[in-house]
Chain A
Amino acid sequence: EPEVTQTPSHQVTQMGQEVILRCVPISNHLYFYWYRQILGQKVEFLVSFYNNEISEKSEIFDDQFSVERPDGSNFTLKIRSTKLEDSAMYFCASNLAGGGKNIQYFGAGTRLSVL
């Protein structure tokens, strides 16, 4: 069964460094998303992406964040200058969004640790 793939599973970085989290969505899906989950807290929406542009973003998704679909398969989240509070689990999701389905399928997540 097709699945969303995220790499790496765990990323450790120093404060102030740039990180890129990578995702391969399900191949025929049209919408892509990033969410984050700080340890012990609820999952929070960051951004949605469709047709090579941002569709929707939350207040969390400030200028430090950017997303890109650099080729036909990858979808990336870049954090420009990481802060301690960026430490969290980051989930990618994808959605076919047609035919009334509208189901978001999640990857296994990337745990980001900022030291």
Chain B
Amino acid sequence: AQTVTQSQPEMSVQEAETVTLSCTYDTSENNYYLFWYKQPPSRQMILVIRQEAYKQQNATENRFSVNFQKAAKSFSLKISDSQLGDTAMYFCAFMKHDRGGADGLTFGKGTHLIIQP
């Protein structure tokens, strides 16, 4: 079974600063996907970024980028030029690759990120 650990229950930064959220995971799988989802107060789950484990290049989406260290089983999210709208819970998630879309996501407990004006 997979586990996902987010060791920072809450983080707070000033607007425009850069913040990094950490995530580690444990798996015996070699091929898998990793995701960061954002959950604002509305509680909708919104995909932020996705990484395929076989790709060494770190994924980026505008102000969001990841630092994927496969050997260390680490998958951190960096948010540059943080904005008030980034305030949300951020969940790291893992999905196995070998059964098409059959497997569910395994989520971490989340990090509550607060962007201060």
Contacts and interface: CB of A to CB of B under 8 A. Distances in A.
B30 interface: no
Given A45-B105, A48-B104, A100-B52, A106 B97 contact: no
What interface size band does chain B fall in?
A: 20 to 34
A109 B42 CA distance: 10
Nearest to B91: A43
Contacts of A73: none
B102 A102 contact: no
Contact of B102 (A31, A96, A107): A31
B101 A41 contact: no
Interface of B: 33, 35, 37, 42-47, 50, 52, 91, 93, 95, 97, 99-110
Given A43-B93, A44-B107, A104-B47, 8 more contacts: A42-B108, A47-B104, A48-B104, A89-B43, A100-B52, A106-B37, A108-B42, A109-B45
9 contacts: A30-B101, A35-B104, A47-B104, A50-B102, A56-B102, A58-B104, A106-B45, A108-B43, A109-B44
